[in-house]
């Protein structure tokens, strides 16, 4: 269970300056909870640049160094809070990349064995860690690659819809960077967040970070469109000036034009109770 931050800018700019130092500081402060590693991925002319670490972003100087460099005009930042039972290790740290696509995930897809069963032998051979998130990424790579004649946004929407039907109570929230788009997946309508664990960390409910006190807030995502940049972010920072990403949708940001399109996915009805 993690935090996500994505950006598409007119020209390469440091994410700290593009988002704003104050908001970026708010985002980074969420490492008090999401402390099990960090990662950044960004578009390069020859593919994807990436840096990950199993250390908290609050103590790893490389995080601040990269955040203040103009790495690219499109990329993402991930703060990890490891799902119970999954190791804090380099190979489990997001984002994951194959050199062309990159993905960072906020959620848990279970059972992992069922997700793994969807992978071809070739996709499975590329897996290095133990997370559901890496298997989610490899499935997206597999299915997008198999849909070469289909517009990429439709292939992403269709694949996410299929996973939602297969795992209706899982959170598929993610950022996916391709050569043409940054996708924000906001699919979690029957997922339950780690709210009891969050509440146990604080003596007072007033101290809990924004959006972390209930599942709907925990999995919320928002985006902001400005002349110079489009950003998308998980809950935890001030919502002023941001629009909610519609629930059970994929937000597609064109890297060339910065145009934003919302693609609804087909949903399923579950017997899940209220999200605590």
Q: For the segment 148-159, what is each residue's pLDDT rounded down to a tens digit? A: 899 999 999 999
How far apart are the two ends of the chain, measured CA to CA in Å? 15
Q: What is the pLDDT of residues 96-119, one digit of tens each?
A: 999 999 999 999 999 999 999 999
Handedness of CA 153, 145, 185, 15 (dihedral sign): negative
Give the C-alpha separation, 111 to 204, whole Å.
Answer: 34
Long-range contacts of 265-273 (CB under 8 A, 24+ apart): 265/157, 265/160, 265/161, 265/164, 265/187, 266/161, 266/164, 266/165, 267/164, 267/189, 268/164, 268/165, 268/168, 270/168, 270/169, 270/190, 272/168, 272/169, 272/190, 272/192
Mean pLDDT of 183-211: 91
Distance CA 211, CA 267 (A): 24
Contacts for 267 with CB less than 8 Å, ≥ 6 apart:
164, 189, 248
**pLDDT for residue 269:** 55
Does residue 62 surpass a pLDDT of 70? Answer: yes
CB 78 within 8 A of CB 95: yes
SS3 233: strand
- Give residue limits of the domains in the chain: 3-264
Position 188 confidence tier, pLDDT thresholds 50, 70, 90 = very high
The topology (CATH level 3) of 3-264 is: 3.60.20
């Amino acid at each position: 269970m993690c935090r996500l931050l994505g950006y598409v800018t007119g020209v390469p700019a440091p994410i700290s300056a593009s988002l704003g130092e104050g908001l970026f500081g708010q985002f980074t402060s969420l490492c008090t909870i999401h402390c099990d590693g960090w990662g950044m991925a960004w578009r390069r002319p020859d593919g994807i640049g990436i840096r990950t670490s199993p250390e908290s972003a609050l103590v790893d100087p490389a995080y601040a160094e990269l955040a203040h460099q103009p790495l690219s005009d499109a990329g993402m930042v991930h703060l990890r809070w490891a799902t119970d039972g999954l190791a804090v290790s380099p190979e489990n740290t997001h984002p994951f990349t194959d050199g062309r696509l990159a993905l960072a995930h906020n959620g848990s897809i279970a059972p992992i064995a069922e997700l793994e069963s969807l992978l071809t032998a070739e996709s499975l051979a590329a897996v290095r860690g133990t997370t559901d998130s890496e298997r989610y990424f490899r499935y997206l790579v597999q299915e997008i690659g198999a849909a070469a004649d289909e517009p990429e946004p439709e292939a992403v929407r269709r694949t996410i819809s299929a996973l939602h039907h297969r795992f209706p109570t899982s959170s598929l929230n993610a950022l996916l960077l391709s050569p043409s788009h940054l996708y924000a997946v906001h699919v979690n309508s029957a997922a339950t967040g780690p709210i009891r664990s969050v509440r146990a960390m604080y003596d007072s409910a007033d101290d809990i970070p924004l959006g972390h006190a209930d599942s709907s807030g925990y999995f919320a995502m928002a985006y902001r469109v400005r002349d110079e940049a489009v950003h998308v972010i998980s809950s935890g920072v001030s919502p002023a000036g941001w629009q909610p990403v519609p629930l059970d949708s994929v937000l597609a940001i064109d890297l060339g034009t910065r145009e934003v399109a919302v693609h609804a996915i087909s949903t399923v009805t579950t017997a899940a109770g209220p999200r605590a």
